[in-house]
Amino acid sequence: AEPKVAANKPEPPKTEPKPEAKIPANAFVNTLGMPFVPVPGTEVAFCIWETRVKDYAAFAAANAGVDGSWKKPFGDRFKQADMHPVVKVSWEDANAFCEWLTKKELAEGKIKERQKYRLPTDAEWSVAVGLGKEKGDTPFEKDRIMGDSGVYLWGKGFPPPKDAGNYRQSLNVDNFDGTCPVGSFAANKFGLYDMGGNVWEWCEDSISPTSDDRVLRGASWSVNHQITLLSHHRYAGGYPDSRNNSYGFRCVLAGE
């Protein structure tokens, strides 16, 4: 006889769900196939998804000496595909990627002379997630002012509803054991995917003027804590050379 499956523990899907991401008609799509859309309230265009394994692989192929931690960040436990967000990349790695991509696309005439790729600032990221302009001068102050009274990517209330994003398995909202393909869940009002969950995203800023710790936003596949999942939460992810299999990044395109 076939083994019985507990009613409250559904079987995992046999194959990985296809991403739901759709590229908006107004998107600028670069040479790597990364789509960027303007976000009202900022002066930059945000990539609609996190930087993918395939994007970072192109950077690594063109630059000898790039640290190889990103190639097998989960060991033999979990394998990432091309459409998964790259992880185990430091703040320094992310900036090097942006600098390389800027030089590449300037040389190819894909972007204009005054344009460049970079990490979003903490303030830009807040606007892109839907918080608008926050009170406070530094990321640390803004986080403390909001405390635990903010909102989540899915709105008010905790725990998150089914398919709210890719978070820790104990929350039972998704079927992923680690990262998932970018765009697997619904986009926010600006057309941006995974602004909550999947991977922590590096921002340009330090958490405060007296700290070298860089800001990470958006929580990740490994997070289930109620306060940490709030959209305003800032995670001081460590020094600029810190790498973790829940750390990734999203690019913005700045300039005219």
The single residue listed with the structure tokens 């670069």 is: 30
Cα separation, 168 vs 222, in Å, equals 5
Cα separation, 91 vs 119, in Å, equals 9
Cα separation, 224 vs 145, in Å, equals 22
* Model pLDDT for residues 204-249, shown as the tens digit of each residue: 999 999 999 999 999 999 999 999 999 999 999 789 999 999 999 9
pLDDT at 237: 78
Cα separation, 15 vs 11, in Å, equals 12
Q: Are 134 and 145 in contact (CB under 8 A)?
A: yes
Q: Is the pLDDT of residue 3 over 50?
A: no
Residues 6+ apart with CB under 8 A from 49: 21, 34, 35, 85, 182, 183, 192, 193, 194, 250
Distance of CA 46 to the CA centre of its chain: 11
The pLDDT of 188-200, averaged and rounded, is: 97
Query: What SS3 class is residue 103?
Result: helix
Distance of CA 125 to the CA centre of its chain: 10
Q: Is the dihedral of CA 177, 168, 194, 18 positive or negative?
A: positive
* Model pLDDT for residues 169-187, shown as the tens digit of each residue: 999 999 999 999 999 999 9
Residues 6+ apart with CB under 8 A from 147: none
pLDDT at 16: 47
DSSP run (H or E) holding 214: strand 214-217
